[in-house]
């Protein structure tokens, strides 16, 4: 009995797998016997995938939650529920946005802040990445610099603001220095981590293939540490934004942080929220730019 | 412990279709089998062929798209009926699922304590006793990270047995062990089987392991998985290392080796990434 | 089987005494030399570190004398700091900052841990809260200062709110990550063993997420310290951040550096205490860490 079953099953499988059977004997095809299984064409597959992706319950819930937040904001501010009595309503913020965003003032603020960030961030990368790489490469150098680094790290970068204003009389220089400092720590730390956490198998493999130290550095260590370096850069970019906003609020100079603080002084409250939203959006955009460069620079990683 | 007469599993034309993002994937196609109460059944197949999916359906983690699964005359899984996982069909997972934040004794007593069938004192007593019987009383108060992987697997099997399940489902439990530990664990599992007499369903990719341990071996094809061949293993119990070199063992192995090898070759040529986690 | 320490020593001496001279020489050559070398290496490491510190102080001194003449030199800073530390007014600032940080941090953790765990546990909760969460998270805590001043009339509450904002998002995120990083087979095993969802939440999710939660708490308190400084500088009275800014206005530059250093030390101490608690109570943790 068992042998007959086996033979029958095997015969069916052989028939199924031959292309001729699919066209000539459709009733033998086991796919039609099983309910709920249909073959989709390529276009159908693409459409089902994208439709599921865009209109899935998950996405609908997310959009609903955003609407709920705006709705709650509206209710709380329009009906003046304490303590939110002085908070502007969504309508006011929207009106102010329509007035303010197309103006030159807004563009000037954004450009000033962005300029400081990118300048400070570039300096932090140029100094920080080689420093981190060298610290990972040479143990004596690491023992020399790391204790000082670790002692300075707990000091919040924001508390450097008065000192930076003391050291650099010009506001621009002091803000760029603060941005540099904010981005510096994560970049160096993550670069160091990237170098140190490389599997020694890679280096041993390279050595056994007869490479010189410079080959190991440029072909093994640098690409291997790249993911961590980009993580450090993303974190550093986030912190750079925090620093720019804080520095501008405290020390002045045109820019988004200064504009937000100024709106509070000038009692133009809708602009405060607008300023916050623009800061958030610009920060998110900067991180996205870095992530984009990361995926371009590391084609061997499927996700970053 | 007396021989149990429960745990009869009957699967009728079971199939499962995954639908991740609009692309239908047939994981298990039209499997039918029967496990007698108190029997040891093994399923052998290449990676990603759907054997874990079959086990998940019996355990209750997934629901078949078509077909029915009956345990002791009660339908537990079908497209309309879905019995949630419970202590009557306990699973021992491939990668360890011991709770790392609990000691061995607490892990073993966890099942009875959560079910609320007995007080915590009784549960601890029962746990201690079963650990003693299993020979694991020395590591009672150790955390799982401090004991070897062989002992961890033993503790997991004991943790499953404490609940007196109808069926014990083992999902490639010895996959991560080295060959020497594996052979010791085989002996251990066989001793437990002889002692308790539970129905066991064992999934593996190793044909030798399956034939050595089981009463009945099913060979599964690559995705979509169907049961291609069945071998009745009539080697006498209790089995030991010498069984592996008897003529009967080699004969049984040769029967199935061709089928297993062909399926492995097909899976290899497909070049698909392993769907098994 | 058991032997007293004297017996053990006797055994070792017995063994070493009966070692062939060549073997004994080799033992001394290899093992003893290795342990001496190891100690030498450690001393070298420490010396290099101290040398680095001295270089840093030297560079500071040189900079303060030449290019950046407004920067006070290390010696002047030290002397002034010792004088200020004797002053009780300094401790008032420390108390105020510490109070704000702890209140804000504890409130934030009390709200963030349950929220994060629920976000990791339930898909619906996660979908409903993630967009708002990400939206509010992208605004740096410092940018919340003007808004918080107009919401909370009381200055203290507004600063505590800023600290809360700083710590809240980090702790939630880490709690969520901790809940999501638990191996799925642990949940399935618990389900098999007959636990209902409430028991699974209490016995699997909570302990499993605990390492990440502690890491989030250590990070959160660090960030709380940073944001309290920012808030105090911009909008505060009392507190170490205010002390820093005020000392700058009063041209008392060494005190600026003292304020910075105090904040650093306090922040580090808080994080270290949390980490010590974590290490003590999460002894089983090695399973998860790489």
Half-sphere exposure of B157 (CA within 13 A, CB side): 27
* A81 vs C195, residue with greater confidence: C195
What is the mean predicted confidence (pLDDT) over C24-38? 80
Interface size between A and C, measured as CB pairs under 8 A: 171
**CB of B198 within 8 Å of any CB in chain A?**
no
Q: What is the pLDDT of residues B87-111, one digit of tens each?
A: 889 999 998 899 999 999 999 999 9
Chain A hits for B66, Cβ within 8 Å: 34-36
pLDDT at A25: 43
- DSSP class of residue B188? H
C-alpha closest to that of A2 among B271, B34, B110: B34
pLDDT at B272: 55
Best-predicted range by mean pLDDT among B266-275, C25-34, C117-126? C117-126
CB nearest to C188's CB, from B61, B143, B145: B61
pLDDT band at C115 (very low <50, low <70, confident <90, very high): very high
Give the integer Cα–Cα distance in Å for A193 and C82: 37
Q: What is the pLDDT of residues B148-192, one digit of tens each?
A: 889 999 999 999 999 989 999 999 999 989 999 999 999 999 999
- Contact (CB<8Å) A146/C49: yes
Q: How far does the CA of residue A222 sit from the closest CA of chain B (Å)?
A: 29
Mean pLDDT of chain B: 87
User: Do B235 and B246 meet the contact criterion of CB atoms below 8 Å apart?
Assistant: yes
Length of chain A as a residue count: 304
Q: What is the pLDDT of residues B180-234, one digit of tens each?
A: 999 999 999 999 999 888 899 999 999 999 999 999 999 998 878 888 888 899 8
pLDDT band at B80 (very low <50, low <70, confident <90, very high): confident
pLDDT at A263: 86
- Contact (CB<8Å) B17/A52: no
pLDDT at A22: 45
pLDDT band at C214 (very low <50, low <70, confident <90, very high): very high
Q: Which of the residues A5, A37, A39 would you substitute to probe the B interface, choosing the one with the greatest number of B C-beta atoms within 10 Å?
A: A37
pLDDT band at B274 (very low <50, low <70, confident <90, very high): very low
* B3 vs B17, residue with greater confidence: B17
Backbone angles phi, psi at C110, to 5 degrees: -60, -35
Chain A hits for C151, Cβ within 8 Å: 83-84, 86-87
- DSSP class of residue B146? G
- Contact (CB<8Å) C199/B97: no
- Contact (CB<8Å) A158/C253: no
**CB of B78 within 8 Å of any CB in chain A?**
no
SS3 of residue B7 by DSSP:
coil
- Print the SS3 string covering chain C: CCCCHHHHHHHHHHHHHCCCHHHHHHHHHHHHHHHHHHHHHHHHHHHHHHHHHHHHHHHHHHHHHCCCCCCCCHHHHHHHHHHHHHCHHHHHHHHHHHHHHHHHHHHHHHHHHHHHHHHHHCHHHHHHHHHHHHHHHCCCHHHHHHHHHHHCCCHHHHHHHHHHHHHHHHHHHHHHHHHHCCCHHHHHHHHHCCCCHHHHHHHHHHHHHHHHHHHHHHHHHHHHHHHHHHHHHHHCCCCHHHHHHHHHHCCCHHHHHHHHHHHHHHHHHHHHHHHHHHHHHCHHHHHCCC
pLDDT > 60? residue B277: no
- Contact (CB<8Å) A279/C70: no
C-alpha closest to that of B43 among B181, B169, B192: B169
Give the integer Cα–Cα distance in Å for A237 and A229: 12
- Contact (CB<8Å) A51/B221: no
User: Do B48 and B223 meet the contact criterion of CB atoms below 8 Å apart?
Assistant: yes
| pLDDT < 50 regions, chain A | 1-2, 5, 16, 19-32, 304
- Contact (CB<8Å) A249/C234: yes
- Contact (CB<8Å) B144/C193: no
Q: Which of the residues B99, B115, B127, B165 would you substitute to probe the C interface, choosing the one with the greatest number of C C-beta atoms within 10 Å?
A: B99
Domain annotation for chain B: domains and CATH numbers: 1-82+202-277 (3.40.50.300)
pLDDT at C107: 95
Domains of chain C, residue spans: 5-65, 74-287
User: Do A152 and C52 meet the contact criterion of CB atoms below 8 Å apart?
Assistant: no
Q: What is the model's pTM?
A: 0.81
* Interface predicted TM-score (ipTM): 0.87
Nearest CA in chain C to B165: C193
Nearest CA in chain B to C183: B97
Q: How far does the CA of residue B276 sit from the closest CA of chain A (Å)?
A: 20
**CB of C290 within 8 Å of any CB in chain B?**
no
Q: What is the pLDDT of residues B40-51, one digit of tens each?
A: 999 998 887 888
Return the percentage of chain B with pLDDT > 90, whole number: 39
**CB of A280 within 8 Å of any CB in chain C?**
yes
C-alpha closest to that of A240 among A177, A163, A148: A177
Q: What is the pLDDT of residues C151-180, one digit of tens each?
A: 887 888 889 999 999 899 999 999 999 999
pLDDT at C280: 85
Q: How far does the CA of residue C120 sit from the closest CA of chain B (Å)?
A: 19
pLDDT at C189: 92
Give the integer Cα–Cα distance in Å for B214 and A109: 75
* C108 vs C31, residue with greater confidence: C108
pLDDT at C37: 86
Sheet holding B89-92, edge to edge: B89-92, B167-171, B199-204, B40-44, B216-220, B227-232
What is the mean predicted confidence (pLDDT) over B52-56? 91
pLDDT band at C140 (very low <50, low <70, confident <90, very high): confident
- Print the SS3 string covering chain A: CHHHHHHHHHHHHHHHHCHHHHHHCHHHCHHHHCCCCCCCCHHHHHHHHHHHHHCCHHHHHHHHHHHHHHHHHHHHHHCCCCCHHHCCCHHHHHHHHHHHCCCHHHHHHHHHHHHHHHHHHHHHHHHHHHHHHHHHHCHHHHHHHHHHHHHHCCCCHHHHHHHHHHHCCCHHHHHHHHHHHHHHHHHHHHHHHHHHCCCHHHHHHHHHCCCCHHHHHHHHHHHHHHHHHHHHHHHHHHHHHHHHHHHHHHHCCCCHHHHHHHHHHCCCHHHHHHHHHHHHHHHHHHHHHHHHHHHHHCCCCCCC
Give the integer Cα–Cα distance in Å for C266 and A148: 17
User: Do B94 and B176 meet the contact criterion of CB atoms below 8 Å apart?
Assistant: yes
pLDDT at C19: 67
**Please, which contacts does C36-40 make with residues 24 or more away whose CB atoms are closer than 8 Å?**
none
pLDDT at A21: 42
C-alpha closest to that of C217 among C162, C174, C264: C174
Question: What fold, for C74-287?
Answer: MetI-like fold (1.10.3720)
Nearest CA in chain A to B266: A17
- Contact (CB<8Å) B226/A49: no
CB nearest to C68's CB, from A145, A158, A167: A167
pLDDT band at C66 (very low <50, low <70, confident <90, very high): confident
Q: Provide the chain C residues 124-143 that lie in CB contact (below 8 A) with chain A.
A: 124, 127-132, 135, 138-143
pLDDT at B5: 72
């Amino acid at each position: 009995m068992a042998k007959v079953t086996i033979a029958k099953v095997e015969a069916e499988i052989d028939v199924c797998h031959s292309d001729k059977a699919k066209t000539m004997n459709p009733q033998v095809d086991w796919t039609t016997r099983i309910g709920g299984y249909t073959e989709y064409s390529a276009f159908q597959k693409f459409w089902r995938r994208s439709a599921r992706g865009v209109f899935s319950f998950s996405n609908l819930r997310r959009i609903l939650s955003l609407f709920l937040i705006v709705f709650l904001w509206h209710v709380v501010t329009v009906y003046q529920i304490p303590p939110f009595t002085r908070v502007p309503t969504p309508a006011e913020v929207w009106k102010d946005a329509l007035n303010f965003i197309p103006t030159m003032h807004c563009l000037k603020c954004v450009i000033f802040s962005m300029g400081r960030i990118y300048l400070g961030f570039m300096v932090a990368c140029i100094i920080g990445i080689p420093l981190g790489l060298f610290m990972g490469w040479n143990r004596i150098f690491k023992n020399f610099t790391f204790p000082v680094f670790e002692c300075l790290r707990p000091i919040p970068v924001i508390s450097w603001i008065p000192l930076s204003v003391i050291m650099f009389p010009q506001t621009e220089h002091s803000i760029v220095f603060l941005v540099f400092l904010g981005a510096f720590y994560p970049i160096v730390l993550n670069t160091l981590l990237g170098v140190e956490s490389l599997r020694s198998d890679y280096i041993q493999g390279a050595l056994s293939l007869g490479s010189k130290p410079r080959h190991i550095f440029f072909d093994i260590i640098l690409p291997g540490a790249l993911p961590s370096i980009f993580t450090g850069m993303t974190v550093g970019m986030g912190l750079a934004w925090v620093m720019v906003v804080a520095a501008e609020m405290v020390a002045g100079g045109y820019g988004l942080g200064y504009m937000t603080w100024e709106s509070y002084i000038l009692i133009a409250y809708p602009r405060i929220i607008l300023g916050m939203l623009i800061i958030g959006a610009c920060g998110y955009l900067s991180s996205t730019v870095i992530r984009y460069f990361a995926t371009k620079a590391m084609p061997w990683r499927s996700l970053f | 412990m007396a021989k149990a007469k429960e745990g009869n599993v009957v699967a009728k034309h079971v199939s499962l279709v995954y639908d991740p993002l609009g692309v239908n994937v047939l994981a298990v196609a039209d499997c039918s089998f029967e496990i007698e109460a108190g029997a040891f059944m093994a399923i052998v197949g290449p990676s990603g062929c759907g054997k874990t999916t079959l086990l998940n359906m019996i355990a209750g983690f997934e629901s078949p798209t078509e077909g029915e699964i009956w345990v002791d005359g009660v339908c537990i899984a079908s497209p309309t009926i879905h019995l949630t996982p419970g202590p009557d069909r306990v699973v021992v997972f491939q990668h360890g699922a011991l709770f790392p934040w609990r000691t061995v004794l607490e892990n073993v007593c966890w099942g009875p304590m959560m079910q609320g069938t007995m007080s915590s004192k009784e549960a601890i007593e029962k746990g201690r006793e079963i650990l003693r019987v299993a020979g694991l009383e020395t590591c009672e108060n150790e955390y799982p990270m401090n004991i070897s992987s062989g002992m961890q697997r033993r503790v997991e099997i004991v943790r499953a047995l404490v609940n007196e399940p109808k069926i014990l489902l083992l999902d490639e439990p010895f996959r991560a062990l080295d060959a020497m530990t594996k052979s010791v664990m085989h002996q251990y599992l066989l001793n437990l089987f002889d002692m308790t007499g539970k129905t066991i369903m064992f999934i593996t990719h190793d044909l030798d392991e399956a034939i050595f341990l089981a009463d009945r071996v099913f060979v599964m094809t690559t995705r979509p998985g169907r049961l291609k061949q069945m071998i009745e293993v009539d080697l006498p119990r209790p089995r030991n290392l010498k069984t592996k070199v008897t003529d009967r063992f080699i004969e049984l192995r040769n029967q199935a080796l061709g089928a297993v090898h062909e399926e492995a070759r097909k899976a290899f040529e497909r070049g698909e990434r392993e769907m098994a986690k | 089987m058991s032997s007293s320490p004297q017996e053990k020593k006797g055994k070792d001496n017995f063994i070493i005494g009966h070692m062939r001279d060549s073997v004994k020489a080799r033992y001394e050559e290899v093992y003893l030399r290795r342990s001496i070398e190891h100690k030498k290496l450690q001393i070298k490491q420490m010396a290099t570190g101290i040398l680095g510190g001295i270089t840093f102080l030297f560079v500071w001194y040189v900079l303060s004398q030449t290019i950046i003449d407004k920067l006070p030199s290390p010696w002047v800073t030290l002397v002034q700091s010792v004088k200020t530390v004797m002053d009780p007014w300094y401790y008032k600032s420390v108390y105020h900052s510490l109070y704000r940080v702890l209140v804000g941090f504890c409130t934030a953790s009390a709200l963030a841990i349950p929220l994060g765990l629920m976000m990791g546990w339930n898909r619906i909760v996660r979908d409903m809260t993630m967009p708002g969460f990400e939206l509010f998270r992208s605004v740096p805590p410092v940018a919340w200062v003007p808004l918080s001043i107009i919401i909370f009339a009381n200055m203290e509450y507004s600063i505590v709110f800023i600290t809360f904002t700083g710590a809240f998002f980090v702790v939630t995120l880490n709690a969520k990550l901790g809940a999501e990083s638990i191996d799925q087979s642990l949940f399935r095993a618990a389900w098999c063993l007959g636990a209902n969802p409430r028991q699974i939440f209490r016995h699997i999710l909570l302990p499993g997420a605990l390492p990440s939660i502690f890491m989030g708490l250590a990070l959160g308190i660090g960030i709380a310290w940073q944001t309290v400084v920012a808030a105090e500088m911009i909008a505060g009275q009392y507190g170490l951040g205010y002390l820093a800014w005020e000392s700058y206005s009063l041209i008392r530059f060494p005190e600026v550096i003292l304020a910075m250093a105090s904040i650093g030390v306090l922040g580090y101490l808080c994080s270290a205490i949390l980490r010590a608690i974590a290490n003590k109570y999460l002894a089983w943790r090695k399973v998860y860490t790489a």
